[in-house]
Amino acid sequence: PVLRVAIMGLGSYGTRVADAMQASQKAKLVGVISGTPSKVQAWQTKYNIPEKNCYNYENFDNIKNNPDIDAVYVITPNALHHDQVIRVAKAGKHAICEKPMALTAREGQEMVDACKKANVQLLVGYRMHFEPKTLEIVRMRKDGELGKILFFQGLSGFRIGDPTQWRLNKQLAGGGAMMDIGIYSINGARYMTGEEPIWVTAEETKTDPVKFKEGVDETIQFQMGFPSGAVASCLSTYSMNNLDRFFLNGTNGYAELQPSTGYGPIKGRTHKGELTQPHNTHQTVQMDEMAGIILEGKRPIIPVDGEEGVRDLKIIDAIYAAVKTGKKVTL
Ligand code: NAD
């Protein structure tokens, strides 16, 4: 069986996913949801999408009467994910949602609950969870090859351009760099160490308060503590290009990825040598694997379900609280 997917939000990442899906063995792009008729027309032509599988933001609840669509992949600005995923669930379709899945853990939990109630699956677009070099480090850590894990460093950033884009609008983005790119270090700290943090501390710095308005973080430095005693030290920023590095160290050795979460190829090495796993387009692998999860009940090595998305949002909530109060926040 093939997972028949409609993409909601035909922007830059939606286009990347659509292109990558053309090479997928198990997922097929069959529909679109968009507010822009000219984009719908262009996608219909480019991807051979029938008129009956095209919807807009007013009428997409009708997708419930369409037996030719199994899942909707929500790739819109962050603040819209919550309501859109809940509408997809109510229409009886599986939801795949881009990161961050919502703006707060409370919102994320509502999405998880809505999908459970509707008996549909909810997956979050964590493409790194299927990336071979990442998975090799996770395997080494699980097999004890690094010894007892004591430290993770995650550096996630890029220099953001156009000041009018939604990513710099608190209403649509829900925050700043943390929501968009810092989340990779949070998520990475969790899958690299294999633990959930029990506390966070965080400090914000802002060099450009005109571009980065109230509620839109430019740079946040944050720390996390884990039950084993391991600690993580991370940086999230919208002001430094080519900042994309993970470093994990245990009592016996290290693993590092740089770049660690870009579109690839990911590069990495450990105390045992270079990582040589092949590069495949992340979004193609992700869609194949997600089709396996939804249609065949496959279990991914690193979870990509809604609960996984909520775990990251709980940490983001705590980081913002720590920035505000200057205090250590217990999770
Ligand atoms: P984008 O601006 O290129 O596209 C967003 C799309 O949403 C546009 O087509 C826009 O027309 C549409 N849209 C619908 N309603 C809108 C509204 N009310 N206001 C503004 N736009 C509206 O953004 P993008 O880079 O494609 O990001 C979309 C989502 O994908 C974000 O949640 C982002 O975090 C996520 N993303 C994930 C990755 C990844 O690697 N997993 C990479 C890039 C983006």
Q: Model-level pTM?
A: 0.98
Tell how far the Cα of 324 is from the centroid of ligand 1, in angstroms: 28
Q: What is the pLDDT of residue 13?
A: 98
Tell me which of 99, 126, 133, 314 is the catalytic residue.
99
Going along the chain from its start, the domains and CATH numbers come out as: 3-125 (3.40.50.720), 128-279+306-330 (3.30.360.10)
Which residue stretches of the chain have pLDDT < 70?
none
Report whether residue 158 contacts ligand 1, using a CB cutoff of 6 Å.
no
pLDDT in tens, 32-77: 999 999 999 999 999 999 999 999 999 999 999 999 999 999 999 9
Q: What is the pLDDT of residue 159?
A: 98
Angstrom CA distances, 22 to 34, 75, 102, 252, 284, stand at 20, 17, 28, 43, 8
Q: How far apart are CA 240 and CA 69, in angstroms?
A: 41
Q: What is the pLDDT of residue 273?
A: 98
Name the nearest CA neighbour of 32 among 45, 289, 89, 24.
Answer: 45
Q: What is the SS3 assignment for 188?
A: helix
Report whether residue 76 contacts ligand 1, using a CB cutoff of 6 Å.
yes
Tell how far the Cα of 125 is from the centroid of ligand 1, in angstroms: 13
For 63, the token pair is 């997708």
Q: Mean pLDDT over all residues of the chain?
A: 98
